[in-house]
Structure 1
């Protein structure tokens, strides 16, 4: 994947994370504060816990940091997959966000 292709796909992922937060806030009683600074989105939950999603441009990866740990994702041609075989990015984000929010959350489009 070229650098421009990575940036297009990675920026689309960050926009989808932000849109998912907006949708969750609009459709549920959950309150997720999402703040974006450059290639990083920070999600802050009511209990003060955070999830950070940031771009790792030199590696062509997206990293997710949650209470459960840090996770690295590479685009496999169709999805952003964990580099250690732990699944797809948005499924992982939903799982970790649900744990931290204390309720089921869905970040799919």
Structure 2
């Protein structure tokens, strides 16, 4: 994948997450600064999603831990366990929000 392809795909992920925040019931605030999107929950906890262009990955830092996602087979997949980005983010956000939260591509 070229750097341009990576940035286009990764930016689309951040934009999708931002749009979803406007349409969910959970009280989650999103703040974007360049390639970093911070999700702040009502309880003060955070999930940080950031792009890693040199590695062509998207990273998530959540209470559950740190996770790296690479674009594989038309989806962003965890480099360790193969889980899909949006499904995993939904799980982490649901845990931190204390209610179901769903992010979809």
**TMscore range, shorter length:** over 0.9
TM-score, length-scaled by structure 2: 0.97
Aligned with residue 32 of structure 1, among 5, 28, 35 = 28
2:23 match: secondary structure: helix
Segments of structure 1 that go 5 or more residues without pairing to the other structure are: none
Aligned with residue 79 of structure 1, among 32, 50, 75 = 75
Segments of structure 2 that go 5 or more residues without pairing to the other structure are: none
1:66 alignment counterpart: 62
More strand by share: 2
Paired residues in the alignment total: 105
Using the alignment, how far apart are the partners of 1:73 and 1:79 within structure 2?
9
User: 1:42-97 CA deviation, whole Å, 9 max, x = no partner?
Assistant: 00000000000000000000000000100000001410000002400000000000
1:107 alignment counterpart: 103
Detail structure 1 runs of 4+ shifted over 2 Å in the superposition: none
